[in-house]
C-alpha cells in the first residue's frame, strides 16, 4: 500500500493504515460484499456513473442494502480524491454485509460497512506494458454463471487468485481462465480481446467474462473508428492463432500480450492495439480533462 493512501470509512476520512474493520464483519468472514475499482485522472473519477450503476446492480443481485444514496456516494468519492496527494490514482469502493453473528446466514448482519480507498495501483511493470505480457491458460476454471454470475463484482475472488498462483508458478505475467465448456472467459483481473484479420473479438459475459467498464470503452472507441467488433465465444485455438491479443481493465487499463502458452503473437504491440490505446487515452482526456495521454505511462506506450 502507498504510504499516503487515504480511506473514507463510514463517513470518516483517515490514513488507510489507520482504517479498521471488525473481525466479525461478514465481508471478512465470508466474502459477503461487493466492490468497484475506479480510476481517477486530474481528480476526476472516470466513468463514475457506469461504476455506480454496476455497484447498485451487484448490490441488488445479492440482496445487499448500500448504506448511502448515490449523491452521498459521489460526495464521498470526491472528498476521498481531494484528500489524496496525487491527481491521478485508483479507488477501491467496497460494501460489506457488516458485522453479524458467526455463521453464513446474513440475517442479523448490519448495518452495511462502506469504505473507499484511494491509492496508486499498477498491475504490471512498465517493461511488461511496453514489451507485452506473457500468459498461460490456467487449469483453474471460471465459476459458471449459474453458480456465481460474472456480472456481480463480489468479494469472492479466490477462484481468480488460484489461477494467478498458477501464473506465478509458471513464471508468467497473467493467466486466462476458461469456462466449464473449455471456452475463454477472462484473465484473473482483466477482460481479453484478440484481433484477427482487422476485427476485434472478445468473449460475451455469457461465457463468464465480467461486463468491464474499460471493455465497454474499447468496444465504443472501436465502433467509432469503424473497426469490426464481435462479442463471440473464443476457444484456446483463437488465442494461439490471433494476430494480436490484449487485456483491459480499470486497474490494468490496456496491456498488450506477447505470448500465450509459449506461442508468440504475430504482433506485439500490434497496430490495432496502438490505435485503440491512443483512442482510449483521448477518451479519458475528453472526459476528465487530464492530459492523461501525456502524463500516464499506463495509457500510452513508448513507440520503438
Catalytic residue positions, numbered: 153
**From CA 65, how far away is CA 113, in angstroms rounded?**
10
**From CA 295, how far away is CA 300, in angstroms rounded?**
9
Amino acid at each position: 500500500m502507498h504510504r499516503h493512501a487515504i480511506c473514507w470509512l463510514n463517513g470518516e476520512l483517515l490514513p488507510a493504515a489507520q482504517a479498521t474493520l471488525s473481525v466479525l464483519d461478514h465481508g471478512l468472514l465470508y466474502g459477503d460484499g461487493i466492490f468497484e475499482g475506479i480510476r481517477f485522472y486530474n481528480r476526476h473519477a472516470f466513468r463514475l456513473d457506469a461504476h455506480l450503476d454496476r455497484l447498485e446492480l451487484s448490490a441488488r443481485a445479492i440482496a445487499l442494502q448500500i448504506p448511502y444514496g448515490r449523491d452521498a456516494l459521489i460526495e464521498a468519492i470526491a472528498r476521498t480524491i481531494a484528500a489524496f496527494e496525487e491527481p491521478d490514482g485508483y479507488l477501491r469502493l467496497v460494501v460489506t454485509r457488516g458485522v453479524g453473528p458467526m455463521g453464513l446466514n446474513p440475517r442479523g448482519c448490519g448495518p452495511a460497512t462502506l469504505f473507499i480507498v484511494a491509492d496508486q495501483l499498477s498491475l504490471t511493470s512498465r517493461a511488461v506494458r511496453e514489451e507485452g505480457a506473457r500468459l498461460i491458460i490456467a487449469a483453474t476454471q471460471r465459476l459458471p454463471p449459474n453458480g456465481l454470475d460474472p456480472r456481480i463484482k463480489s468479494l469472492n475472488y479466490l477462484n481468480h487468485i488460484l489461477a494467478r498462483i498458477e501464473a506465478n508458478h509458471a513464471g508468467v505475467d497473467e493467466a486466462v481462465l476458461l469456462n466449464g465448456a473449455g471456452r475463454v472467459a477472462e484473465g484473473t483481473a482483466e477482460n481479453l480481446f484478440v484481433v484477427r484479420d482487422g476485427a476485434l473479438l472478445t468473449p460475451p459475459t455469457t461465457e463468464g467474462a465480467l461486463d468491464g467498464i474499460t471493455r465497454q470503452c474499447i468496444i465504443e472507441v472501436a465502433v467509432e473508428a469503424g473497426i469490426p467488433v464481435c462479442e463471440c465465444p473464443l476457444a484456446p485455438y483463437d488465442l494461439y492463432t490471433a494476430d494480436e491479443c490484449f487485456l483491459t481493465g480499470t486497474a490494468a487499463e490496456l496491456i498488450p500480450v506477447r505470448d500465450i502458452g509459449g506461442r508468440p503473437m504475430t504482433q506485439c504491440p500490434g497496430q490495432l492495439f496502438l490505435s485503440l490505446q491512443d483512442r482510449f487515452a483521448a477518451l479519458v482526456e475528453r472526459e476528465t480533462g487530464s492530459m492523461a495521454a501525456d502524463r500516464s505511462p499506463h495509457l500510452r506506450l513508448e513507440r520503438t
